[in-house]
C-alpha cells in the first residue's frame, strides 16, 4: 500500500493481523490491531482501550488492503464501510465539541502572558537529566 491509500477508519492487513487506521500523519500511519473480536468496545475511541501502533514508510510497504472490507464494498455496492461511518461519527463529534474555556482574572492572565514571553530560565533538573547516558 501507499501512504495515500490510508484513511481514518479504514481496515488493512499487515503480517497476519488486521488493523484499523486511527490517524494519518505526514509520513506515518497510526492504527489499532483488531484482535479483540470478543469485545468490540475495545475499538471505541479515541482514546482507545488498545494500544495504537505507528507504521512508518517502511512498514506501510508491507501493508495490504483488507480483503473482508473490500469484499463488503464489492458485494453490497456500498461505498461506505462500518469503519468509515464510525470514523465520520467520531470526527463530527469532535467538530461539534465545545473547547474548554478557562476564566481567569485580568491580573492572572497578564502574569501568564508575562511568563510565556519571559526568556527560559536555567533548569538544573533538566541539565542533570541530559547528562545521563541512555540505559
- What pLDDT shows up at residue 46? 84
Q: Where are the domains of the chain?
A: 3-96
- What pLDDT shows up at residue 20? 93
- What pLDDT shows up at residue 135? 75
Give tens-digit pLDDT for 23-77: 999 999 999 998 877 787 888 888 888 899 999 999 999 999 988 765 544 444 4
- What pLDDT shows up at residue 126? 87
DSSP the chain: --GGG--TT-EEEETTEEEEEEEE-SS-EEEEE---TT-GGGG--SSPSS-EEEE-HHHHHTEEE-HHHHHHHHHH--S--HHHHHHHHHHHHHHHSPPP-----HHHHHHHHHHHHSPPPP-HHHHHHHHSPP-
Q: pTM of the predicted model, to two decimals?
A: 0.52
- What pLDDT shows up at residue 40? 79
- What pLDDT shows up at residue 89? 63
How many whole angstroms separate alpha carbon 15 and alpha carbon 34?
13
- What pLDDT shows up at residue 64? 93
Residue 22 in contact with residue 48, Cβ under 8 Å? yes
- What pLDDT shows up at residue 60? 93
Give tens-digit pLDDT for 75-123: 444 454 555 555 666 666 666 777 777 889 999 999 999 999 998 888 8
- What pLDDT shows up at residue 37? 75
Amino acid at each position: 500500500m501507499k501512504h495515500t491509500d490510508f484513511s481514518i477508519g479504514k481496515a488493512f492487513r499487515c503480517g497476519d493481523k488486521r488493523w484499523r487506521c486511527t490517524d494519518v500523519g505526514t509520513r506515518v500511519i497510526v492504527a489499532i490491531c483488531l484482535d479483540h473480536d470478543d469485545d468490540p468496545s475495545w475499538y471505541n475511541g479515541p482514546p482507545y482501550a488498545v494500544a495504537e501502533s505507528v507504521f512508518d514508510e517502511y512498514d506501510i510497504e508491507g501493508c495490504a488492503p483488507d480483503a473482508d472490507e473490500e469484499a463488503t464494498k464489492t458485494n453490497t455496492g456500498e461505498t461506505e464501510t462500518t469503519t468509515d461511518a464510525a470514523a465520520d461519527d467520531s470526527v463530527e463529534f469532535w467538530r461539534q465539541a465545545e473547547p474548554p474555556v478557562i476564566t481567569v482574572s485580568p491580573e492572572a492572565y497578564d502574569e501568564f502572558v508575562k511568563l510565556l514571553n519571559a526568556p527560559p530560565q536555567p533548569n538544573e533538573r533538566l541539565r542533570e537529566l541530559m547528562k545521563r547516558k541512555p540505559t
